[in-house]
Structure 1
Amino acid sequence: MSQQTAPIAREGHQPFEARHRDDIDWETIRWPGETGKMLFHPRPERPTEPNAGILRLEPGAHHPLHKHDFAQIWYILEGEFRIGGGTYGPGTMIFHPDPHFEDEFRTETGGEILIVQYPGPTTGGRPIYDKRFNMADRKPIAAERTDL
């Protein structure tokens, strides 16, 4: 399947866009054991486009407590995840308002999560794609900005 755009816009509104996950390569993400396919992401010509796609997590994947000024939603597709003292599995949706702390996160099973990160309605903070979801090489966690 390939990227498709609806053929017409109505009354000055833009048409929808459709992308299939099989048309996007897995990319290195900044946290250990995570790769992702961001089917949509911000870029200079479309700065308010969300980071939207699938995170794939290997068994043992984790990230530390850190914060964001944007908002995001996660929907667990498969696997079990320990987040901030709770355990969550398939069918769980998690909402992070803006601004928020993203709790320590780990998985022993691995799995996949659908994520959508979007500009914060109250902060205006925008999600970051470049050098976060498309890294050539992952940095050590200690070298990542966590702003705590």
Structure 2
Amino acid sequence: MRPRNKNEAQEILITLWRGRPEAAFGCAVIDYLSNHLDARHIPFSEFFRLGADGKPAEQTVVINIINYLSGAHLHLLAKGFEYIEGDLPIEIDSLQAKAAYDASINPLTGQFDEAVKRKIFVYFMPSDAAKEVLGEAE
């Protein structure tokens, strides 16, 4: 069942991750998203700053929640990919990112590039579902 508002989305996480740090962290991410519905580029590193009690979140907790929130069940996060070499980030699609990781193909040149994996970065943004669900009154 799709949540109708922020409270319902957070309750899903609390129920699913009861007794684990993912519950509180997931709620913090949903709070963050609800306050940044117009964000177009949330770097992966931003989520580590959302830890509880002023402490950065643990990597496994961040990954668990980001995977869950970008998955089909809630889909509150949409993913984007960028190629960065030098100062200029260039947006690429998921197929280009996959080719870079699987076959070391540079998305700009189409040529083999053994270092290309270090030049591909994922970022996030609120999904259309997040804008609908988290923008609703509670």
TM-score relative to the length of structure 1: 0.28
User: Does 1 or 2 have the higher relative contact order (CA < 8 Å, sep 6+)?
Assistant: 2
The structure in which a higher percent of residues are strand is: 1
TM-score relative to the length of structure 2: 0.29
The structure in which a higher percent of residues are helix is: 2
